[in-house]
Amino acid sequence: MINISVIIPHYNSPKTLSTLLDSIPNKKQIEVLVIDDNSSSEFENELSYVKDKKKENVSFYENTTKLPGAGVCRNIGLDKSNGKWILFADDDDYFLDECWDKVEEYNDTGYEVVFFKPTSIESDTGDISDRHVPYEKILSNYQSKRDNKSTLDLRYSFVVPWSKLYKRSFLRKHNIYFDEVLVSNDIMFSTQVGYYMENFKIDNGTIYCVTKSKGSLTTTLSRKIILTRLEVFVKYFNYLKGILDDSEFTSLKLSGRGFVLMAKSLGIKEILPVYLTLKKNKIPIFNKEIFKFSWLVSRIKIIKSRRRNSKYNKTM
């Protein structure tokens, strides 16, 4: 019986894919599904090498649809998976050695979702990165507070699919799939998981390492990427507005400020389509919190602290 299905979308990254596959043991209880998103021909030889040396429990598939993106590939993987549990991985990340003993502990449990504390590194230097920090904070806050705000953040702000173990029957019961868009395909998937999950757990173990590199879709901006991210955010905003009461929705402090700043980085003229979309959907550009005196004081304290730390580091 297959206990775990590992689903990996791949595009033009055969070297890091090889590292990821090396971090997954060759066991009959684990199936690995790699879905290639029509990688460029220049990577054909390297990818063929990875396929030739693959383990027995690894299968390669092609995205034969006309839609590109990791969301499409993940959906193909979901439809082809057979495991009792699902893990997702990006092709430039990897699993830690302790992952497999840790997830095996949950094989016969009734949980629908298990969260694990993530970690991350800078791919260029190998130094610890900050990409995992917001998600680690969400988990820690929920564990220490367990109030309404920390619960909402756990359900609706942990918007990445990695570092979680999902019961496949739970995803199928609620027909939860990824948006088939170029970027931000995981936002609504994670949001629906958060909405429907009833039996979940946070495990203090770390099973997955995220990498942060220049040029990835998480660090690259273009007009198309910004507008696609905005389209998904509008969907996310309206979905939450429909399922939460007014006080819960307000506590999430959602705004379009980040999209305006992203657009501005490409030029002033790029702000207009973003502004019009936000206005049409009645999404505030600024969070009202920034107009409170207490927020201003806290920001000044943070800036002063950073400056002190910067001066200290220069003297070291």
* Chain-centroid distance, C-alpha 18: 21
Confidence at residue 296, expressed as pLDDT on a 0 to 100 scale: 52
Taking only the tens place, the pLDDT of each residue in 151-160 is: 999 999 999 9
- The C-alpha atoms of residue 218 and residue 165 are separated, in whole angstroms, by 22
H or E stretch covering 248? helix 246-251
Confidence at residue 1, expressed as pLDDT on a 0 to 100 scale: 87
Confidence at residue 213, expressed as pLDDT on a 0 to 100 scale: 76
Encoding tokens for residue 211? 């990498």
- The C-alpha atoms of residue 252 and residue 258 are separated, in whole angstroms, by 15
- The C-alpha atoms of residue 156 and residue 250 are separated, in whole angstroms, by 13
Is 117:46 a contact under the CB 8 Å cutoff?
Answer: no
CATH superfamily for domain 4-212? Spore Coat Polysaccharide Biosynthesis Protein SpsA; Chain A (3.90.550.10)
Report residues of the chain scoring pLDDT below 50.
217, 290-291, 295, 306, 309-316
Residues constituting the chain:
316
Q: What are phi and psi of 4, to 5 degrees?
A: -130, 130
Encoding tokens for residue 205? 């173990």
Burial degree of 188 (CB within 10 A; 0-12, 13-18, 19+)? buried
Encoding tokens for residue 142? 């929920």
Confidence at residue 124, expressed as pLDDT on a 0 to 100 scale: 86
Burial degree of 181 (CB within 10 A; 0-12, 13-18, 19+)? buried
Confidence at residue 234, expressed as pLDDT on a 0 to 100 scale: 98
The number of beta carbons lying within 10 Å of the beta carbon of residue 48 is 11
The number of beta carbons lying within 10 Å of the beta carbon of residue 225 is 16
The residues spanned by each domain of the chain are: 4-212, 223-287
Confidence at residue 215, expressed as pLDDT on a 0 to 100 scale: 53
Specify whether the backbone of 146 is left (phi greater than 0), alpha (psi in -120 to 50) or beta.
Answer: left
Confidence at residue 309, expressed as pLDDT on a 0 to 100 scale: 45
Encoding tokens for residue 307? 């400056």
Q: What are phi and psi of 57, to 5 degrees?
A: -95, 15
What pTM did the predictor assign? 0.88
Specify whether the backbone of 175 is left (phi greater than 0), alpha (psi in -120 to 50) or beta.
Answer: left
Confidence at residue 228, expressed as pLDDT on a 0 to 100 scale: 95
